Amino acid sequence: MAGDNFNPFRMAQEQFDKVADFLDLDEGARGLLRNPMREYHFNIPIRMDDGSVKVFRGFRCQHNDARGPSKGGIRFHPQETIDTVRALSMWMTWKCSVVDIPLGGGKGGVICDPHNLSMREQEQICRGWVRQLVRNVGPLQDVPAPDVMTSAQHMLWMMDEYEAITGAKYPGFITGKPVGMGGSLGRTEATGFGLIFTVREALKQLDIRPQDTIASVQGFGNVSQYAIRLYNQMGGTVICVSCWDQADQKSYAFRRKDGIDLDQLLSITDKFGGIDRQKALDLGYEILEGPQWIEQDVDILLPCALENQINADSVKKISSRVKIIGEGANGPTTPEADRVIEEMGIFNIPDFLANAGGVTCSYFEQVQCNMNYYWTKDEVLGKLDQKMTEAFIAVSELAQRHGIYMRDAAYVISVGRVVEACRARGWI
């Protein structure tokens, strides 16, 4: 999805191999964890609005479920690939493990572009996805959630189809549902807020006040929007955001040196996170090429879009002023770029720790659904803050104790927990 020559699954395997060497894992453990335990490929035939039939390709990967049911989102994207889904399912395993929630890693996707589909057509894809997988997913097997270009409405259609087929009510089958239909308060904010909870802890460790920092953000979807809101509330200033322009099929960055106005930008943003360029110009924003978000002279970089955004080429453009990178996206930084970031002395908060707020709150939603008892937003966000802070401290302390990179420390904890569960079950 992020470049013709980039393979996210090879990158995920390379990251795993590095920590497997560090942990001195045997061949059995490596063989089990280097690839998904199960994966499904299938066709979804849809009657389009014009009467024609179009066939969409769908996927689901279940990487490892030793610690609990698989958990992971469903992406709708025209460049979706099975290797992207494989990589994301692996990262979900480590993400659930590093924040110590009793779930494994899964991921799903459909090759489609919601921009060009009516809501009826999107509903048919959602229902068709469930029909293909109904025997292989469920609250005790594999719990889906929203991801890139899917929403609470898509999740509700999927839940409705699952319940129609099974003949029972299973609100815990899927998370990210609308509030009032089994959804959790705080879920919308969770990934972005969770990211900033970890940034806050990094700033504390570096003895930097949030109000003395400025940031540049890639992406302007749900994660980015709520991350900016909480960062602003802490006193920080965002001077640049980038987003994808569907009409031009390229990204643009929007910069205002005295700080962006989040609510103002939201008022000229479409449902896919695209900002109206002409209106932004009228409001005093500079329009830059999308990749220029990474070149800004800031203290904090927050990649909150897709994978492979900080790579061997783009990492060279990072300002020497940058002190923290918080990875709101999945797999935004390649191993080659990691080495440069480490040499630069930048405090990097790895993706499967930094953006684990979403799956943590999804777990909270699942718990509430299974109990049929729902918490207040303050209660949800309080529990989220506690989980994210505890996970950050555990990773940071390990990194300092062994003198290793934060990503490596996060992998040591997460992979170690999964290996322990696999061994306890007698799998390896």
Confidence tier at 371 by pLDDT (50, 70, 90): very high
Please determine, looking at this structure, whether the domain spanning 188-349 carries the CATH number 3.40.50.620. Answer: no
Contact 321, 239 (CB under 8 A): no
Q: End-to-end CA distance of the chain: give it in Å, rounded.
A: 33
- Sheet strands side by side (includes 250-255): 286-289, 250-255, 237-245, 214-218, 300-303, 324-326, 347-349
Using one digit for the tens of pLDDT, what is the confidence trace for 183-240? Answer: 999 999 999 999 999 999 999 999 999 999 999 999 999 999 999 999 999 999 999 9
Nearest of 238, 226, 147 to residue 190 by alpha carbon: 226
Residue 2, pLDDT above cutoff 70: no
Q: Which CATH superfamily is domain 36-172 in?
A: Leucine Dehydrogenase, chain A, domain 1 (3.40.50.10860)
Residue 4, pLDDT above cutoff 70: no
Q: Rounded mean pLDDT of 340-355?
A: 97
- Count of H-run helices and E-run strands, the chain: 14, 12
Tell me the two tokens of residue 411. 């992998």
| DSSP output for 236-247 | -EEEEEEEEETT
Q: Which of 269-273, 278-282, 385-389 has the lowest mean pLDDT?
A: 269-273
- How far is Cα of residue 63 from the mean position of the Cα atoms in its chain? 16
Go through the chain and tell me how many residues it has: 428
Which whole-number Å values give the CA distances from 414 to 23, 33, 107, 290, 407, in the listed order?
A: 11, 12, 18, 33, 11
pLDDT for res 246 = 80
Using one digit for the tens of pLDDT, what is the confidence trace for 119-152? Answer: 999 999 999 999 999 999 999 999 999 998 999 9
Q: Which residues contact 100 (CB under 8 A, 6 or more apart)?
A: 387, 390, 391, 417
Domain ranges of the chain: 36-172, 188-349
% of the chain at pLDDT higher than 90: 94
Place of tokens 């008892």: 373
Residue 292, pLDDT above cutoff 80: yes
String of b and e for 372-405 (b: at least 16 CB within 10 Å)?
eebbeeeebbebbeebbbebbebbbebbeeeebb
Residue 275, pLDDT above cutoff 70: yes
Residue 41, pLDDT above cutoff 80: yes
Which whole-number Å values give the CA distances from 209 to 76, 199, 213, 303, 394, in the listed order?
A: 39, 11, 7, 21, 22
The answer to whether domain 36-172 and domain 188-349 are alike in fold is yes
pLDDT for res 3 = 52
Of 18, 54, 71, 107, the active-site residue reads 107
Q: How far is Cα 16 from Cα 10, in angstroms, rounded to an integer?
A: 10
Using one digit for the tens of pLDDT, what is the confidence trace for 385-425? Answer: 999 999 999 999 999 999 999 999 999 999 999 999 999 99
Q: Rounded mean pLDDT of 356-362?
A: 96
Residue 5, pLDDT above cutoff 80: no
DSSP label at 268?
Answer: T
Q: Rounded mean pLDDT of 352-377?
A: 96
% of the chain at pLDDT higher than 70: 99
User: 204 catalytic, yes or no?
Assistant: no
